[in-house]
Amino acid sequence: MERKIYSKLLDWKNNSENNKPLMVLGVRQCGKTYIIEEFCKKEYKKYYTLNLFQRADIIELYKSRKSSSEKYTMLKSLINFDFDEEGSILFIDEIQESEELISDLKYFCEEHNNVRIICAGSLLGVKLKRFSKSFPVGKVWRLNLYPMDFEEFLMAFNENMLIDYMKECFINNKPMDFLHDKAMYYYRNYLITGGMPESIMNMVKINNDYINYDKEIITNIIESYFDDMKKYVESTSETLKIRRLYNSLPNQLANTSHKFQYSKIEKNAKSREYEVPLDWLLSANMVLKVNSVKIPQKPLKGFENTDIFKLFFSDVGILNNLLEISTNDILNDNLEIYKGTITENYVANQLVSNNIPIYYWRNNDSEVDFLITTSDDGIIPVMVKSADNNQAKSLKVYIDKYKPKYSIKLSTKDFSYDSKNKIKTVPLYAAFLIKTLVD
């Protein structure tokens, strides 16, 4: 399947001044191995995939006291692949299994800057967070890969013409008209699958016959996260706390306080008891943290309150799976109290997967779901409505107080623009296009 990160991989390849190995981070099963191997296969004459899960001998080599030069030479011999050769690339998968090899990427960069190396791995972010060796700071490029966004979902169904028209309507505030219902149909199917490639491929294979969609795919992905977790946690107690925190998120997201509360995890839970589990989930890219901002000024990062925040699942399909919501309820829009929660999680996924830093605004009884910093228009509030109603009292409070150049309201309504109140209405399926305002 086509992934938008491919263009960034090409940028890395074609940068004549770049001599750094590339490290791709992302939640498990979001498609890292697939897209990297596709890139290596298409863009290089020769490539080799080295999976450290299968090569204990190489892990032991890098644990040895041999010099970096000796390890480099022996590595080529052990895999019988000369990655020094022009037009060749080495892909090291599951590199988190060797801290020593990660540390030695500095040697690759400084002494063999002709070599092309890409690294990835399950829970690599967790490993780097707890790195005990000397990390090659400044010697490695990093890219984040997220679950597939809605645009990539449409690409998987070869709906490129629909995407193009959607982009035109977004720019010109022109309604989709007859295509609106079609786009909404795909949007609701995306809520079922989420953005995990295996889940989307299943829906593609059954040609959107949602009755035959295999919900066990996402269930198995969730369990695989926690199977991996056992390799990196320090105690059984930590494992239990990580899982307890993760399982509390559906209830947290529906919390009327609109913020994460440690007391919702278990009775009398304290923040200090769950700081490490939360950090673990964030490093594993399993959850997204959105901090609150009381004063919406540039830079938003400078005005964030890290103690008041919301947590979202990395993928809306995972949220719906954990809530055990039926596909019929999603397609027929019978979600009731969790409808807003699911919609907000979906939007968070779309923004983050397009590398948009997000925050939210809180002030007394008012709240704006997301704040983004645009390239030309300053800070823009983004309000998320799960239906097509026009009530957005908090947005009006924000507009009256801070007078942004315009505001964005995401809902099930078609594209439009309210010139009097300067509100750009964007259908939920087009949330990914907000990136064009940020770039």
Is pLDDT at 134 greater than 90 in this prediction?
A: no
Tokens of 165: 């028209």
Please report, for residues 128, 291, 312, 354, the alpha-carbon distance to residue 349 in angstroms, rounded to integers and kept in the order given.
23, 15, 8, 9
Q: In the numeric block, which tokens belong to residue 71?
A: 């390890």
Q: How does residue 55 score in pLDDT terms, banded at 50, 70 and 90? A: very high
Orientation angle between helical segments 236-247 and 216-229, nearest 10 degrees: 150
Long-range contacts of 52-59 (CB under 8 A, 24+ apart): 52/92, 52/93, 52/94, 52/95, 52/97, 52/98, 52/101, 52/121, 53/93, 53/94, 53/97, 55/79, 58/98, 58/101, 59/97, 59/98, 59/101
- Per-residue DSSP letters for 88-99? EEEEEESGGG-H
User: 155 with 418: CB under 8 angstroms?
Assistant: no
Distance CA 137, CA 141 (A): 10
What domains lie within the chain, and their CATH numbers?
6-144 (3.40.50.300), 197-438 (no CATH)
Q: Counting Cβ atoms within 10 Å, is residue 402 exposed (0-12), middle (13-18) or buried (19+)?
A: middle
Confidence check: pLDDT of 131 > 90: no
pLDDT > 90? residue 336: no
Name the residue type at position 269.
Answer: A
The stretches of 194-336 forming alpha helices (DSSP H) are 197-205, 216-229, 236-247, 249-253, 271-283, 316-322, 327-331
Answer whether residue 404 shows pLDDT above 90.
yes
Tokens of 195: 């953005």
Separation of alpha carbons 86 and 38, rounded Å:
19
pLDDT of residue 391: 65
Task: Please state the pTM of the whole predicted model.
Answer: 0.94
Q: What share of the chain is helix, strand, coil (3-state, %, to 5)?
A: 50, 15, 35
% of the chain with per-residue pLDDT over 70: 99
Average pLDDT over residues 351-376: 94
Residue-wise pLDDT for 173-183, tens only, equals 999 999 999 99
Backbone angles phi, psi at 260, to 5 degrees: -75, 135
The Cα 76–Cα 41 span in angstroms is 19
pLDDT at position 79 is 98
pLDDT of residue 389: 63
Percent above pLDDT 90 for the chain: 78
Say if residue 143's pLDDT is above 80: yes
Q: How far is CA 118 from each of CA 33, 54, 108, 307, 405, rounded to the nearest angstrom?
A: 10, 17, 12, 36, 42
Lowest pLDDT segment from 160-169, 214-223, 228-237: 228-237
Written as six digits, the tokens of 247 are: 């399982």
pLDDT for 390 equals 58
Report yes or no: 368 and 410 within 8 Å, Cβ to Cβ: no
Averaged confidence pLDDT in the chain: 93
Q: What is the pLDDT of residue 262?
A: 92
**DSSP code for 390:** -
Yes or no: say if 371 and 296 are a contact pair by the CB < 8 Å rule. Answer: yes
Compute the distance between CA of residue 409 and CA of residue 396 in angstroms, rounded to an integer: 11
Kindly state the average pLDDT of the residues 58-82.
97
Give the mean model confidence (pLDDT) for residues 42-50: 97
Q: Identify the helix (H) or strand (E) that includes residue 117.
A: strand 117-120
Cβ atoms 95, 101 nearer than 8 A: yes
- Strands 46-51 and 88-93 turn out to be parallel
